[in-house]
Amino acid sequence: MFGEVTLSLLKGFGITCEIFALTLLFALPLGLIISFGSMSKFKPLKWLCKVFVWCIRGTPLMLQMIVVYYGPGLVGQWAQGIEDPGVFITWFASWTVFDRFVAVLIAFVINYSCYFSEIYRGGIESIPVGQREAGQVLGMKKSQLFFKVTLLQVIKRILPPMSNEIITLVKDTSLARIIAVYEIIYAGERFIKAEGLIWPLFYTGAFYLIFCGILTLLFGYFEKKLDYFRG
């Protein structure tokens, strides 16, 4: 029985890891873009980003997932009632049959990139102006200044809050079961319904613990790597 449960949970854990990895892959760069937007001198863009971040951070991820998954369908239903829905609404409604996994991914990427963007912003704004000015009087271009001077200092500063957020992401993946994506908790729960066993659900905790343990070690390693300078 134990072997059977482990296999089944491993399968679910695979999905968990997939959500985790793909979310990071897209949300890390997207977050940087949003953070640039929210620091922009162009006021409308700045406020657009701020309002967007507010909406995403101000509502539960679970709700966002449900909206992403069911929202287009509702629009589709409503569009059927209109005589001439127009190109945009037709296109939007054509998303009705969303892949569950894609819906989860979209919600997660949007949600996490907003959190990441605030961490990036905090990191970038915490770099003393003197660094930028020093680069400027040395004739550096803006991009050179960012990549050669600021970036590594930002990474060093945001590593602790980033690791926090990323470890939270590991556990947030369990929300995916709300729209019936077969991740590890979902896999564990099935044994309650099918066999009346509760321990497989408890057992899932071990998977999370090990995964987060590895991540903790990894972040510790990176922090140590950047220990050679202060600032």
Partner 1 sequence: MAMLEVKDIHKKFGKISVLKGIDFELNKGEVVSIIGSSGSGKTTLLRCLTYLETAEKGTVYVDGNCVFDAASEKHVSAQEARKRQLNFGLVFQSFNLFPQYTVLDNVCLAPKLLAKDRPDYKANKKAILEEIEENAKKLIERVGMTSRINMYPCQLSGGQQQRVAIARALALNPKILCFDEPTSALDPELTGEVLKVIRSLKDGDCTMVIVTHEMHFAHEVSDKIIFMDEGVIAEQGGPDILDNPKSERLTAFLNAFSQ
Judged by the rule CB under 8 A, the positions of this chain that interact with partner 1 are: 128, 130-131, 133-141, 144, 148-149, 152-153, 156, 228-231
- Residue 128 beta carbon to partner 1: minimum distance, rounded to whole angstroms: 7
Nearer to partner 1, 4 or 133 (CB): 133
- Residue 225 beta carbon to partner 1: minimum distance, rounded to whole angstroms: 12
Given a contact cutoff of 8 angstroms between Cβ atoms, the answer to whether 201 and 183 are in contact is: no
What is the secondary structure of the chain as a DSSP string? -HHHHHHHHHHHHHHHHHHHHHHHHHHHHHHHHHHHHHT-SSHHHHHHHHHHHHHHHTS-HHHHHHHHHHHHHHHHHHHHHSS--HHHHHHHHTT-S--HHHHHHHHHHHHHHHHHHHHHHHHHHHS-HHHHHHHHHTT--HHHIIIIIIHHHHHHHHHHHHHHHHHHHHHHGGGGGGGT---HHHHHHHHHHHH---HHHHHHHHHHHHHHHHHHHHHHHHHHHGGG---
Consecutive H or E run containing 176: none
Nearer to partner 1, 132 or 171 (CB): 132
Nearer to partner 1, 11 or 142 (CB): 142
- Residue 163 beta carbon to partner 1: minimum distance, rounded to whole angstroms: 20
- Residue 151 beta carbon to partner 1: minimum distance, rounded to whole angstroms: 9
- Residue 22 beta carbon to partner 1: minimum distance, rounded to whole angstroms: 31
Nearer to partner 1, 58 or 139 (CB): 139
**Single-letter residue type at 203:** Y
Nearer to partner 1, 123 or 200 (CB): 123
Nearer to partner 1, 95 or 146 (CB): 146
- Residue 137 beta carbon to partner 1: minimum distance, rounded to whole angstroms: 4
